[in-house]
Amino acid sequence: MILELPDTTTAKVAKELVNLREEGGAVALGRVLTLLISTTLGEEEVAIAAANEASREHPMRVIVLSVIEPEHSISNRLDAEVRVGGDAGASEVIVLRAYGKVGSDQQGLVTGLLLPDTPVVAWWPGTAPEKVSESALGKIAQCRITDSAAQSEPLQALNDLSRTYSPGDADFAWTRLTLWRTQLAAVLDQPPYEPIIEAHVTSTPDFPAAKMLAAWLQLQLQVPVTCDLTHTGLNWRGVHGVRLVRKSGDIELTRVEPTTARLKQPDQPNHDISMPLRSLRDCLAEELRRLDPDEVYGRVVTEGLPQIKMVTT
């Protein structure tokens, strides 16, 4: 069910939520967090779809805020939608579209709609503030999620992450690497236990997760790591492969299809491993599993990224 509330106020939206709850159409019991999504007008649905899918693992209240700046609006008003039931997955979705000066106080627009005594997570699916921890929504959130790949200059966005990082910040560039990191760690836990001499990461151009993977390898292995963002000819965007060099022979983990990677090791048969490209839903659900600061990610961003030199064409 979708309830339209044109030209309304936050207080009226909160009242409608209470009415829906009393009528038995939706309940707030069991919601474990509030997810704030800051997006632009017309781009809400992709983020809402991902949140609805993730809500089956993390029941939550989703508040979507789109602000139309005064220079792009001829009116000052707040339009809202309340979605429950089949239109909201296992959550309840509140869509706020703030026009003109009404959008100047983003924190005030959402504060009255937050679930009491539950964590608050802020997510910017598209363009993010320069320093999310000091933004209006970031100040009230325990966890702040961005996506450097969605920025106009993804690699520059990584530099900004390194410079502005605050505990509680998260980025999907890191989340997309979970399967790569898990597989590489598993390989290095097997004999022969030889030190790695150097490492190489290859990727499609302008893909920030590749540089973050290189930074992680550099911190964990303490060896020179190169990051080559010139690999072309792939039908998908992402990390192409990792090569770990050691005396007995190289370890190569290479994606051969969007769902499969091939592991090559000396004196062993090749192994095809399931490594599907991660969807927006997968990344969001993983970040919501842990809301405390990720110390490894913090080190990679602040210490590892500045040490990585890239090859690009």
Kindly give the pairing relationship between strand 309-311 and strand 60-68. unpaired
* Per-residue pLDDT tens digits for 174-199: 999 999 999 999 999 988 889 999 99
Whether residue 304 is predicted with pLDDT greater than 90 in this model: the reply is: yes
- Supply the pLDDT for residue 2: 87
- Length, in residues, of the chain: 313
pLDDT band at 311 (very low <50, low <70, confident <90, very high): confident
Question: Of 1 and 266, which is predicted with more confidence?
Answer: 266
Buried residues in 168-186 as b, exposed as e (16+ CB within 10 A): bbbbbbbbbbebbeebbee
- Supply the pLDDT for residue 23: 74
CATH of the structural domain 172-313, one choice from 2.40.128, 3.40.1350, 3.40.50, 3.30.360: 3.30.360
Within 10 angstroms of residue 65's Cβ, the number of other Cβ atoms is: 22
Q: Please state, in angstroms and rounded to a whole number, the distance separating the CA atoms of residues 214 and 305.
A: 8
* Per-residue pLDDT tens digits for 83-117: 987 766 667 899 999 999 898 999 999 999 999 99
- Supply the pLDDT for residue 70: 74
Q: Please state, in angstroms and rounded to a whole number, the distance separating the CA atoms of residues 88 and 109.
A: 21
Average pLDDT over residues 265-270: 93
3-state secondary structure of 143: strand
Q: Please state, in angstroms and rounded to a whole number, the distance separating the CA atoms of residues 44 and 62.
A: 12
Nearest CA-CA partner of 243 in 234, 232, 252, 255: 252
Kindly give the pairing relationship between strand 33-39 and strand 2-5. unpaired
Average pLDDT of the chain, as a whole number: 91
Please tell me the least confidently modeled range out of 1-10, 79-88, 142-151, 213-222. 79-88
**Contact status, residue 232 vs residue 156, Cβ threshold 8 Å:** no
Question: Of 69 and 252, which is predicted with more confidence?
Answer: 252
3-state secondary structure of 196: coil
Average pLDDT over residues 54-74: 87
- Supply the pLDDT for residue 24: 62
- Supply the pLDDT for residue 91: 78
* Per-residue pLDDT tens digits for 113-157: 999 999 999 999 999 999 999 999 999 999 999 999 999 999 899
Domain boundaries, the chain: 2-146, 172-313
